[in-house]
Amino acid sequence: MIDPITAFATAQAAIKGVKAAIQMGKDLNSMSGDLMKFFEAKDTVAKAAAAPKKSTFGKSDTAQAFETVMHAKQLQDAEDELKQMLIWSGQADVWHAIVLERNNLIQKRKSAEIAEEKAKAKKKKEIEEAAVMVLSIVAAVLFLGLLGWGLSEYVLFMKA
């Protein structure tokens, strides 16, 4: 995974390539590589914005937050501009299909993450229950063993 600064630069370069291609009247297929680079880089920057920050030497937390937020805003503005360019160039259906598919993929990914978290929680609970069961059995066996030993000592004491 590339760092957010590199991703931001990649996204800016990709959007410039898309703009140039649209101005030259190229078809959408010739721009697909730049479009994919842009969206990949935008997602990387967005994930970096949402992730907890590791302290960067020489930068305050506020400066890091400002930089990340500004990059995310610039990329959102670029995406809005890209949307307008596609719509005005007669590719509105493509833009809507991209957004619909992206939303479907996000929903599927989130559902899978939730299912995975539930499965992990269930497995953890099963392990905890098994551990409690084993400890209970060990405690019961020890108790019965001590009780049996105590009774046998008592019987021997009473015979003597």
Overall residue count recorded for the chain in this entry: 160
Q: Which of 4-18, 74-88, 129-143 has the highest mean pLDDT?
A: 129-143
More confident residue, 103 or 12: 103
CA distance 38 to 97: 17
Mean pLDDT of 94-104: 87
- CA 38 centroid distance within chain: 19
DSSP state letters, 39-100: HHHHHHHHHHHHSPPPPPTT--HHHHHHHHHHHHHHHHHHHHHHHHHHHHTT-HHHHHHHHH
Q: What is the pLDDT of residue 16?
A: 79
The pLDDT mean for the chain works out to 84
| 13-23 pLDDT per residue, tens | 877 777 777 77
Q: What is the pTM of this model?
A: 0.57
CA distance 137 to 59: 57
- CA 84 centroid distance within chain: 29
